[in-house]
Amino acid sequence: MKEIKHQWKNTHSKFLHTEVKPIFWYNNKLINSQTIELDINNPGLLYGATIFTTLRVYDSLDNPLTQWQAHLARIKTSLNHFSWQQPNWDSIRNGAVLMKQHFPVLRVTVFPDGKEWITGRMLASDLKELQKHGITASVVQDYYRSLPGHKTGNYLAPILAKTDAAQNHNSQEAIFIDEKGNWLETTTGNLWGWKDNCWWTPPLSTGILPGIAREYIRTNLIQQNQVVREDVWNIKLVKSFETLAYSNCIVEIIPIHTVVTDTGTLTYGAQHPSLIKLQALFQKD
């Protein structure tokens, strides 16, 4: 039992890359503490009923790479879909401006009653190494993201899937699949594969999170007159990719050099020239 708890703690910590200072923003106040006071009947506490977005601040909220407006739009879309109360948007911006002085990564959470909660963390210390050399991922079964089109506080399935992959296959990521075995996304990002001189990514219609980094990459590639193929990722397609990667707003692009499946192991080039061009989309200059 102690070993299981230890594994859970280590994996959960790696999932969040948590290096937390005792400070956060809640309901228009900057609070110096590592504890938050919530009503025992708060639906966010009871059911994970919150909407959140996680962003990386590139110097300022208004830097195009920060994608601040896209993150706000994500929250607004989900709040409108669930008919939840709108927050004080000025308070969210004020809180983010203060919190970015302490952290490069911010998580903006909104409760059903419209109260905002902003926490922060540091970037993973090994991020540059992962971006250069890549990771191992495992295809996991029987785990499904709750309401995949929305980023809700119910993140139990991704955490359990990533824990499963780490404990059973020594993998740093897990890949969700649908009932037919088609690849969907990782627990923390969208998938990208390279073949036939273009990038491929699963379509949103397959039931994946509409990632902000995914849209940023897709839009920039199209603006550069590059083809982006959005097709279902069946096993035949994924075996044909020359290189594989996943994206999110924090890690940008990370290659996946090895994928563990229930029928064997797939390998991909982690230093493919196409990856360098994709990673260049996130250069500050």
Nearest to 246 by CA among 140, 172, 181, 182: 172
**CB of 26 within 8 A of CB of 128?**
no
Query: Any residues with CB less than 8 A from the CB of 66 and at least 6 apart, and which?
Result: 55, 56, 57, 58, 60
Residues 133 and 236 placed together within one structural domain of the fold: yes
| Crossing angle between the packed helical segments 89-99 and 68-82, to the nearest 10 degrees | 140
Helix (H/G/I), strand (E/B), else coil: 108:
strand
Residues 217 and 87 placed together within one structural domain of the fold: no
Paired strand residues for 198: 195
CATH number at residue 148: 3.20.10.10
Can you give the three-state secondary structure of 226-239, one letter per residue? CCEEECCECHHHHH
Residues 172 and 107 placed together within one structural domain of the fold: no
Residue 30 host element (H or E): strand 29-31
Residues 115 and 132 placed together within one structural domain of the fold: no
Residue in this structure with the two tokens 């859970």, named with its chain if needed: 8
Residues 41 and 158 placed together within one structural domain of the fold: no
What is the model's pLDDT at position 225? 96
Looking at 87, 105, 121, the residue that finishes a domain is 121
Q: Count up the domains in the chain and report the number.
A: 2
pTM: 0.92
Residues 74 and 148 placed together within one structural domain of the fold: no
Judge whether 10 lies within some domain: no
Looking at 92, 121, 150, the residue that finishes a domain is 121
Residues 154 and 184 placed together within one structural domain of the fold: yes
Please give the C-alpha separations between residue 281 and each of 107, 157, 213, 221, 251, in angstroms, as whole numbers: 23, 30, 10, 9, 13
Residues 140 and 268 placed together within one structural domain of the fold: yes
Residues 133 and 272 placed together within one structural domain of the fold: yes
**CB of 201 within 8 A of CB of 182?**
no
Judge whether 276 lies within some domain: yes
Residue 182 to residue 92: CA distance in whole angstroms? 38
Residue 267 to residue 258: CA distance in whole angstroms? 5
Residues 54 and 104 placed together within one structural domain of the fold: yes
CATH number at residue 85: 3.30.470.10
In terms of residue numbers, what domain contains 155? 127-282
pLDDT in tens, the chain (285 residues): 334 444 445 555 454 555 567 999 999 999 999 999 999 999 999 999 999 999 999 999 999 999 999 999 999 999 999 999 999 999 999 999 999 999 999 999 999 999 999 999 999 999 999 999 999 999 999 999 999 999 999 999 999 999 999 999 999 999 999 999 999 999 999 999 999 999 999 999 999 999 999 999 999 999 999 999 999 999 999 999 999 999 999 999 999 999 999 999 999 999 999 999 999 999 865
Dmax of the chain from CA atoms?
Answer: 55
Residue 159 to residue 216: CA distance in whole angstroms? 25
What is the model's pLDDT at position 6? 44
What is the model's pLDDT at position 212? 98
Within 13 Å and on the Cβ side, how many CA atoms surround 27? 8
Residues 262 and 213 placed together within one structural domain of the fold: yes
Nearest to 155 by CA among 139, 171, 174: 174
Looking at 121, 136, 159, the residue that finishes a domain is 121
Residues 135 and 258 placed together within one structural domain of the fold: yes
For 120-269, where are the alpha helices, taking DSSP H only? Answer: 127-133, 156-169, 212-223, 235-240
